[in-house]
Structure 1
């Protein structure tokens, strides 16, 4: 399929951080699938291996999509992560409740073997598990970013998407979020503004944040150099 195909004509899939596309008219066989709550370490291993970001958020609950065919054992083919929103004002703004009563759908990644309507089937059941496990949660926010990202070598590291799955699940649309500038590493990964703030202000965790920057390719801090510099 050509790279300029309309976003609604295919479903994005991932394996080892590479994008794959499934035709929109496909239908999964529900009898082959189930969902279960994952341990954080298992969800993190899957997400960092396959999701384009290569990163794992601060999670409140991680749900796995399991597939079993024939006599084979069930295996993990997708993960949905409900996490702590990066902006604590987003939950009060969009849901109208205290920050800890809302979560963000922070990661959704399905392997290329999952047919095209697997997202809506999976997320609907993941949200049911969220309601059962976290009854204090009143709502879920998520974001669709249509902007592609490219690394320093000109390779596309993040495709754009327009939130077709959220429309299919009857999410409410509240317009665009606030405009902001993202700082990217040479590999096209987003550098957390919170991490930069920790370094500038020498807060707890600043050393770890600085090591992450160096791992991304930034030069190390010089002897006597001010954190803000």
Structure 2
């Protein structure tokens, strides 16, 4: 048994429900949804990251609502891989277009404990139907417990126990990195920082997110690199070393399963529930190479 409870979200705050609780399949349905109009607002409102990655397909979990109308209770978003190199490295597939990331998985806190597996299993089938060129799904588990400067636990940290129970292959960790954190403990994506520094399309949205978090707006004509550096000097942004996320793969076809033989097949990591900060991975297993 890998887990006895399931992580849920509401208003970007983590909550837990007993894994033994179950949803009634007669009251729920899973279907493809519109990314911009349905998935993105839901994810931005409830997922801890408050943002939506570049999405290749979004799938929603619906339940019976008031007056017989269905209401969205969860979203599974399949996104573009973090980079082209991640597909051959983690899934064993040569073509980057043949895999995607499980970019977002968020369910409300009143969905039963088996809600994730109920949604993800059906989402995989819809992914194969709608995007037949995708053969494998890569998923990442952020193992760092994040605490804001006010002491609020922004993200408890997890090791991907759900993915283990669903029969995925654990292939190791991503490369270590340095995160730039907001006061509430939320990391700023490296892609957002790149857009700001390079003046790329989308920089305005990234800057607005920082301003909403308490940053001063850039001054007229101020170099964006200098602006970010000043936010660090003012302690609004802080750096922290990240050891790398746990990585799991879900081969969806026979060809993907054969390709996955090229990548490691390691023991599933387990969570150290006594850990109050940093990497929440149980260290004995980590020492064996996970």
TM range (shorter): 0.7 to 0.9
Q: Is 1:10–2:1 an aligned residue pair?
A: no
1:151-166 matches, cutoff 5 A: 151-166=148-163
1:52 and 2:44 are equivalent in the alignment: no
The count of aligned residue pairs is 224
Higher relative contact order, structure no. (Cα contacts within 8 Å, ≥ 6 residues apart):
2
Structure 2 residue matching 1:142: 3-state secondary structure: strand
Partner of 2:210: 213
1:171-182 aligned at under 5 Å gives the runs: 171-182=168-179
Match of 2:16 in 1: 21
**Kept after mapping to 1: 8 A contact 2:65/2:71:** no
2:200 equivalent to 1:198 = no
Q: 2-side partners of 1:172 and 1:84: how far apart?
A: 20
1:174–1:223: structure 2 CA closer, same or farther, 3 Å change rule?
same
1:3 is aligned to: none
Cα distance, 1:208–1:169 mapped onto 2, change above 3 Å: same
Q: Normalization by structure 2: what TM-score?
A: 0.71
What corresponds to 2:251 in structure 1?
none
Q: What secondary structure, in the 3-state scheme, does the structure 1 residue paired with 2:57 have?
A: strand
Larger strand fraction of residues:
2
Deviation at 1:38, TM superposition (A): 0.7
Extract unaligned runs of 5+ from structure 2.
227-290
Q: How does 1:57-136 map to 2 (within 5 A)?
A: 57-68=53-64, 72-95=68-91, 96-136=93-133
CA separation of 1:225 and 1:49: change in aligned 2, threshold 3 A: closer
Does 139-148 or 26-35 show the bigger shift?
Answer: 26-35
- 5+ residue gaps in structure 1? 1-5
CA deviation after TM superposition for structure 1 residue 141, in Å: 0.4
1:17/1:7 CA distance change after superposition, 3 Å: farther
Find the aligned partners of 1:143 and 1:103 in 2 and give their Cα distance: 12
Q: CA offsets, 1:88-143, max 9 Å, x none?
A: 32122112232222111011111122111111111000010000000111211011
Q: Which whole-Å CA distance do the structure 2 matches of 1:128 and 1:53 have between them?
A: 26
Cα deviation for residue 70 of structure 1 reads 9.8
